[in-house]
Chains A and B, each alone.
Chain A
Amino acid sequence: MIRVTCIALVAGLMGLFVQATLIHSAFPAAIAPDFILVLVVLLALRERSLPFLFLAFLLGILSDFASGQFLGLNSAGMVVAFGLVGVISTRVYAERSLAIAFITFVCSIAKSAVCFVMLMIYISADVVTSSLWRVVFIEALLSALAAPILLYLLSLGVRSSRAKGARKSGRGQSTSYWATDR
């Protein structure tokens, strides 16, 4: 669990870095996928337990810290997304990339809806414009596309980490982590 937490936090920071810097410098007007949400979805797909729920919440707080505007906005969205994965994943075969992309898409929309509602409640309706929904849709689409790729990269990272651990302890290499060890 500690390893997963560390990997998730590092991956979250990396995601924020990519969102905040890489994508915007390469494509200034581009909409970036929400890597933190993708991470939360992948965590929820792996295990819907309390520690993972808190991890999702923590990643949401991390995202809020990065924006520096409102605390609790993204964390609420991530908690909802985490819960939604549980609801959807029982209805689709979540091992397939397409299904993962679909779940991510739905969760992204849901998270945005939560953020919208919270902004409506706590700030003002003027903040939310109609063009925002276009952004929300594109962000969801990009997040859905990024999810299978991020899953593959995380699998590689965890596998390599486990292989090192196994070599140290003298045991054989384990199988995949995110995909099969559910």
Chain B
Amino acid sequence: MAFRNSGSFSDFISRNSVPLCSLFLLAVSMQLMSASSRNPKIANSGALVIDTVLVPLEKGYHEVSESTKYLWTHYVWLLDVENERNSLLDRVKELEALNSRLMEHQRENDRLRGILQFSNTTSQQGVVATVVGRDPSNWIQTITIDRGADQGIAIGMAVVDGNAIVGQVTSVTAGSSKVLLLTDSTSAIDAIVQSSRATGIAEGGMHGGLLRLRYVERLQEIPVRAGDRVIASGLDGVYPKGTLIGVVHRTDESKGGLFQFIEVAPSADLRRLENVLVIAPDLKGALNEGEGGK
């Protein structure tokens, strides 16, 4: 009987081993819980073991994650930034173009104001014209302006910029004119050295875009010096008297002869001409018309 009882007990144990063990493990868990609630070091010691395994993984993940974030924020995300940058660059280009146009208008405005001031101070009437072309050859120095016979331009009219003489009109069409620059070898202007009142002829054709003031006598009470202003005498009937031609660039006393050797630098910047005034003394109100045409 005892054997049978013992057998049935062992059978019971073997049949219910899992539930019984579960109860046992539950009891162990509660004991552990009780112990660890009183002494947290017990749980912490186990945490150290787990941390030795998990922390390197977590660190590795953190590094990978940070690298990915870095990659994302610095490269992938920058794709949008690049689009934005491109649109901003386009905008900058647009604004630069606009700014360039505005600056151009400003300069044009300054030039026209200069010309208008010249017209007011000299009481000369004329037609404002824009330089639209230059002679392609190096032998003849002419410019083409966008005003012609229709605007009252005629051959022989003087052309000035806001400051000084540019040349004279040599040919005219209905809508354009050719202006012979004062530096051309065929150009000659009756001139006066403003300080000494010495007279001469300012001729073109010198090297470096200079003029030569010829026929100035050596016997002058006041000698001609570099820096003296040279103006039109008005005797040639083309250029109004007093209009600036240029300044004396160099004189050479060593050269012999009856006349002095004087080089004059034109005051008009002939290489950068954009707007000019064609002086038309016979045209009443031509200046206003020219400005309107511009």
Partner of B25, one of A17, A25, A53, A62: A53
Chain B nearest CB, measured from A83 CB (Å)? 5
Chain B residue numbers with a CB within 8 Å of A65 are 43, 46-47, 49-50
- In this complex, how many residues of chain B approach chain A with their Cβ under 8 Å: the count is 32
With A64-B43, A69-B43, A86-B18 in contact, do A79 and B58 touch (Cβ < 8 Å)?
Answer: no
B53 touches A13 (CB 8 A): yes
A17 touches B30 (CB 8 A): no
Chain A residue numbers with a CB within 8 Å of B65 are 25
Q: Is B257 an interface residue (CB 8 A)?
A: no
CA distance A62 to B17 in the complex (A): 23
A50 touches B21 (CB 8 A): yes
B47 touches A67 (CB 8 A): yes
A79 touches B29 (CB 8 A): yes
CA distance A160 to B42 in the complex (A): 38
B22 touches A118 (CB 8 A): no
Q: Which residue of A lies closest to B66 (CB)?
A: A25
CA distance A121 to B25 in the complex (A): 17
A76 touches B50 (CB 8 A): no
Chain B residue numbers with a CB within 8 Å of A71 are 32-33, 35-36, 42-43, 46
Chain A residue numbers with a CB within 8 Å of B47 are 65-68
Q: Which residue of B lies closest to A66 (CB)?
A: B50
Within 8 A of B (CB), among A25-43: 25
Q: Is A20 an interface residue (CB 8 A)?
A: yes
Q: Which residue of B lies closest to A22 (CB)?
A: B61
- B13-26 vs A, Cβ < 8 Å mask (1 yes, 0 no): 00001110110011
Chain A residue numbers with a CB within 8 Å of B46 are 61, 64-65, 68, 71
CA distance A122 to B266 in the complex (A): 107
CA distance A180 to B268 in the complex (A): 104
Chain A residue numbers with a CB within 8 Å of B53 are 13
Chain A nearest CB, measured from B19 CB (Å)? 7
Chain B nearest CB, measured from A182 CB (Å)? 15
With A68-B44, A70-B36 in contact, do A82 and B22 touch (Cβ < 8 Å)?
Answer: yes
Q: Is B37 an interface residue (CB 8 A)?
A: yes
Q: Which residue of A lies closest to B44 (CB)?
A: A68
New contact pairs (6) apart from A50-B17, A65-B50, A122-B37, CB-CB < 8 Å: A16-B50, A17-B61, A21-B57, A48-B18, A71-B46, A122-B33
Residues of B whose CB lies within 8 Å of any CB of A are 17-19, 21-22, 25-26, 28-37, 40, 42-44, 46-47, 49-50, 53-54, 57-58, 61-62, 65
- Pairs A–B under 8 Å by Cβ, sample size 9: A17-B57, A20-B58, A49-B18, A65-B47, A66-B50, A70-B33, A76-B30, A83-B22, A122-B37
